[in-house]
């Protein structure tokens, strides 16, 4: 059972099923998850849990689904085989749900225009990031990039949309050691999304610091066009900056991460902006 102030749901684990009770649903989380699981069962079977029952009008709304074997990749030092399996799962998700079907579903709760506005708003607040020279340099470089036209180009997707998880947390990727596969869980924010946005967030989500996951290796296994590759690079900059701006002494991401995370993230920002 999980139950903490940062979670949007409580989870009860059975031998074969998982019962998920939502603690918030203002973004339509239960409806999003049920819709995604139904689409995945039809188009990408085996990639996610199978829906058993949905009680969307209950209080709290509840979804019962099959329990997947394995362990999450968050906190793992991901080996090449695991990274390759993660890429295979993402390729299946983005390629096997037809674009004509994706066009009929609602946009994901977390999407490019919202992300760009939020990161710019954080930068405009001039968050307290301390006095470290490297951190200050990263803020200046990031603020200059945010003030350019580059982020605005990310808000319009010139490519076909995909069904997206809309959450890059590596805890959403389950490694099955027996079948040598990765499957995806927690679809409460899912919806129609931008593939480059999805990949950029997976590559730069702050959960990567809990272990090691080679983002460059992951992306090398993803089937990307040159245009997508460029967009992924720009989204990686956006997400790296977003996490950086939340890691100051009073930042919302600081309590969940070890000492030194801000400095590590400053190095990441400068690397990606170079």
Measured CA to CA in angstroms, residue 126 lies from 251, 261, 274 at distances of 11, 19, 22
Residue 7 banded pLDDT, cuts 50, 70, 90 = low
- Which whole-number Å values give the CA distances from 221 to 197, 198, 253, in the listed order? 17, 15, 30
User: Do 146 and 194 fall within a single domain?
Assistant: yes
Tell me the pLDDT tens digit for each residue of 89-116. Answer: 999 999 999 999 999 999 999 999 999 9
CATH of residue 57's domain is 3.30.200.20
CA distance 203 to 246: 17
Q: Are 91 and 33 in contact (CB under 8 A)?
A: no
C-alpha span between 158 and 167 (Å, rounded): 21
Tell me, yes or no, whether 24 and 130 share the same domain: no
- 223 alpha carbon, distance to own chain's centre: 18
Same domain, 80 and 114: yes
CA dist 230 and 39 (Å) reads: 29
Do 158 and 118 share a structural domain? yes
Are residues 58 and 78 located together in one domain of the fold? no
pLDDT tens for each residue of 222-264:
989 999 999 999 999 999 999 999 987 777 777 777 888 999 9
Backbone angles phi, psi at 255, to 5 degrees: -60, -20
Domain end: 43, 67, 91, which one? Answer: 67
**Which of residues 48, 67, 86 is at a domain's end?**
67
Query: Do 254 and 234 lie in a common domain?
Result: yes
Domain endpoint, select from 39, 67, 95? 67
Residues 88 and 36 in one domain: no
Q: In what order do the strands lie in the sheet with 17-22?
A: 9-13, 17-22, 62-66, 51-55
Domain count, the chain: 2
Mark out the alpha helices in 156-225 (DSSP H runs): 195-204, 215-220
Structural domain that includes position 205:
69-273
Q: What is the pLDDT of residues 191-219, one digit of tens each?
A: 999 999 999 999 999 999 888 999 999 99
């Amino acid at each position: 059972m999980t139950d903490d102030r940062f979670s949007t749901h409580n989870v009860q684990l059975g031998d074969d099923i998982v019962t998920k009770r939502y603690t918030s649903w203002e973004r339509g989380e239960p409806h999003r998850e049920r819709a995604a699981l139904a689409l995945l069962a039809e188009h990408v079977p085996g990639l996610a849990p199978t829906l058993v029952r949905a009680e969307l009008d209950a209080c709290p709304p509840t979804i019962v689904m099959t329990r997947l074997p394995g362990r999450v990749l968050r906190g793992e030092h991901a080996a090449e085989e695991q990274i390759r399996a993660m890429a295979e799962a993402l390729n299946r998700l983005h390629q096997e749900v037809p674009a004509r079907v994706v066009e009929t579903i609602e946009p994901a709760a977390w999407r490019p225009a919202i992300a760009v506005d939020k990161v710019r708003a954080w930068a405009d607040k001039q968050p307290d990031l301390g006095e470290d020279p490297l951190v200050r340099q990263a803020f200046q470089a990031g603020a200059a990039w945010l003030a350019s036209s580059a982020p605005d180009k990310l808000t319009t997707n010139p490519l076909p949309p995909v069904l997206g998880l809309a959450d890059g947390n590596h805890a959403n990727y389950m490694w099955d050691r027996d079948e040598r596969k990765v499957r995806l869980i927690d679809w409460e924010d899912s919806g129609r999304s931008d593939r480059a946005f999805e990949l950029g967030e997976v590559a730069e989500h702050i959960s990567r610091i809990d272990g090691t996951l080679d983002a460059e290796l992951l992306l090398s296994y993803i089937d990307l066009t040159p245009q997508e590759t460029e967009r992924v690079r720009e989204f990686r900059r956006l997400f790296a900056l977003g996490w950086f701006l939340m890691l100051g002494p009073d930042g919302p991401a600081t309590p969940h991460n070890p000492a030194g995370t801000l400095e590590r993230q400053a190095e990441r920002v400068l690397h990606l902006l170079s």
